Amino acid sequence: MKKTLILLLLTVLCVTGCAKNNDADITGGSNDQASVYVEPEIEKIPESEKNKETVKEDTSDKNITEDQALLAIKNYCYESNRDLKDMEKSDDYTIYWEVVSSEESQIVVLFRSYTGALVRYYIDPVSGDTYVTEFVAGITDEEERTDESFNVRDYLNDGEAKDSSVSIEGTWQTASMGYESDGDIQPEYYVQFTDKEINYGHMKESEFVLDHADKISLIEETSNGYRVKAEGQNNVKYTYQTSESDKDVLEYFETWDENEFPDMYRGGASLSKQLN
């Protein structure tokens, strides 16, 4: 019996000695079977690697702007109907696009089709996902969602917000006149165009001096010149369109809807181009 006890003690001492050499812990109570836990080896990171910063590339896309949404929807419509550009330039059809609502979570672009239908595109400015509704006066009671959906980012022109190929050169002047402080009479405004703004100002020593600028929502070529839709002070929406009888005259209509042009023409605000 004594020999058995001594042999058991020697065995435990031997295991304990081995565990210390292997950085191991022995667990277990007096009545439990002893178990040995050996720590796994952890790969040490060299000091030179510890100080390196991990740089993560920001791949998030920028939100779609109103101008980008408007252009993308036009591109989508052009691709869906190859004849649309020619129809747009013709005086036989009423076709236009405009941003009718813009919020952080949604941009809504309205397309007035040549058929008279009002088609609205609801755009998520973050993802670009777009769904479509349609309203036809006399046929539908309200706008109805169609089964049409797409991602508007597929129709952006490399992020360009405007069609840079369309530009109106030169300096123009209003038909209405006014008196300067020195008693001289000159047009109420001289006008210059960029691809995004209409700049209104006056001339001082033959130099254009900016007074204010209105934002352009649409600028395009027509069969005989140009059409510009802009939004001015107090949210007034207006259109400049080349006169059918004179390409150096831009007629002013205080509306975007061509059906209202006869009643909304303002001769005093129309523009004539300065000739060099």
Q: How confident is the model at residue 56 (pLDDT cuts 50, 70, 90)?
A: very low
28, 35 in Cβ contact below 8 A? yes
Residue 261 has a pLDDT of 93
Are 75 and 102 members of one domain? yes
pLDDT in tens, 239-263: 999 999 999 999 999 998 888 999 9
CA distance 119 to 111: 5
Q: How confident is the model at residue 53 (pLDDT cuts 50, 70, 90)?
A: very low
| Range from 40-44, 102-106, 272-276 that averages highest in pLDDT | 102-106
Residue reference for tokens 């696009």: 97
Residue 26 lies in a domain: no
242, 228 in Cβ contact below 8 A? no
* Pairing mode of beta strands 207-221, 226-231: antiparallel
CA distance 86 to 79: 13
Residue 34 lies in a domain: no
Residue 83 has a pLDDT of 83
Work out the widest C-alpha separation in the chain, in whole angstroms.
132
Residue 200 lies in a domain: yes
Residue 140 lies in a domain: yes
Residue 40 lies in a domain: no
Are 117 and 203 members of one domain? no
| Range from 19-28, 125-134, 221-230 that averages highest in pLDDT | 125-134
Residue 39 lies in a domain: no
Q: How confident is the model at residue 233 (pLDDT cuts 50, 70, 90)?
A: confident
Residue 24 lies in a domain: no
Are 177 and 269 members of one domain? yes
From residue 224, alpha-carbon distances to 159, 216, 242 in Å are 29, 20, 7
Residue 192 has a pLDDT of 95
The neighbour count for residue 88, using CB atoms within 10 Å, is 21
For the chain, percent of residues with pLDDT exceeding 90: 45
Instruction: Identify which of 112, 114, 97 has the alpha carbon closest to the alpha carbon of residue 216.
Output: 97
Domain tally, the chain: 2
Are 178 and 260 members of one domain? yes
Q: What value does the mean pLDDT of the chain take?
A: 79
Residue 98 lies in a domain: yes
CA distance 28 to 117: 83
- Domain that includes residue 264, residue range: 171-273
Q: Is the model's pLDDT at 29 over the cut of 90?
A: no
14: its two tokens: 């031997």
157, 144 in Cβ contact below 8 A? no
* Whether the predicted model's global pTM rises above the 0.75 cut: no
